[in-house]
Amino acid sequence: MRRQLVSGAVMAVALFGISVPYAFAAEISAQDELFMMQAHQGNLAEIAAGQDAQKNATTSCVKNVGAVLVRDHSKLDWDLKMLAGKLNVTLPGSPSAEQKKELAAVQAKAGSPAYDAAWLTTQDAAHRKTLALIDQELKGGKNAEVKAAARSARPVVAMHLDMVRGGASHAGKDAGMVRAGSGGHLAAADSPLATVGAAGMASGGLLAAVGAVWFWRARRRPAAHR
């Protein structure tokens, strides 16, 4: 009888300590996947645009803004790719056709002051679109980790918009390397689903400890008392 109870405790650990959090982590909607794919393309486009500005801009201010975009969007995209791998989401290999076309139009003005103005105006529009994309995910997304990644990215994108707002360069708005999270892995602290999973793990651990002590004491008792 005692062995059956111990086996039951072990089963409880398996059910509540392991299955629950993993089931919640695997839940991902079409909205979540679409956000990850579009955010990745946005990151690639901003990295390419930032690198181009560092090469072709005629003012140091725009070059500096370009460097900030490369720095921050590289970090954001590294985190996003780690999360995509965890959730088995396949990301596109390049920016969208529209994003490539926009960069090509700016590059056509390389070597003239018109380049800087066109680059800033394009980045103003691009970062407004990215903020709208993030807000859509925060409102309608389902996966806690994907939403946490969007929440972490928002202040970074908002800072970039301040740096190019109105098609003018405001490099002084750079707040330095903004901590963009770790691809949503901080979601456990915010998600009620993750809290349930953590509670399950804690209760499972307690059951395991009680079961182990019970089994040990049962083995030490004389056979006549079992």
Give the per-residue pLDDT at 215.
52
Model confidence at 221, pLDDT cuts 50, 70, 90, reads: low
Write the pLDDT tens digit of every residue in 82-139: 999 999 999 999 999 999 999 999 999 998 989 999 999 999 999 999 999 999 999 9
Give the per-residue pLDDT at 175.
75
CB 123 within 8 A of CB 160: yes
Residue 195: partners with Cβ closer than 8 Å, 6 or more residues away: none
DSSP character at residue 206: H
Question: Which candidate, 129, 133, 156, places its Cα nearest to that of 32?
Answer: 133
Helix (H) or strand (E) holding 135: helix 113-140
Element counts in the chain: helices (H) and strands (E): 8, 0
Give the per-residue pLDDT at 177.
61
Instruction: Give the lowest-confidence range in 142-146, 163-167, 206-210.
Output: 206-210
CB 27 within 8 A of CB 147: no
Question: Which candidate, 114, 129, 143, 124, places its Cα nearest to that of 28?
Answer: 143
Residue 69: partners with Cβ closer than 8 Å, 6 or more residues away: 46, 47, 49, 50, 53, 123, 160
Write the pLDDT tens digit of every residue in 3-27: 554 455 444 444 444 444 444 445 8
Helices 144-164 and 30-56 pack at an angle, to 10 degrees, of: 30
CB 44 within 8 A of CB 94: yes
- What is the full DSSP assignment across 11-25? HHIIIIIIIHHHHHH
Residue 43 or residue 196, greater confidence: 43
Residue 9 or residue 48, greater confidence: 48
The token pair at 225 is 């008392």
**CA dist 193 to 27, 80, 142, 172, 196, Å?**
11, 21, 11, 40, 5
Write the pLDDT tens digit of every residue in 152-204: 999 999 999 999 999 998 887 777 765 544 433 333 333 333 333 444 444 44
Alpha carbons 109 and 36: distance in angstroms, whole number = 32
Alpha carbons 217 and 194: distance in angstroms, whole number = 35
CB 56 within 8 A of CB 111: yes
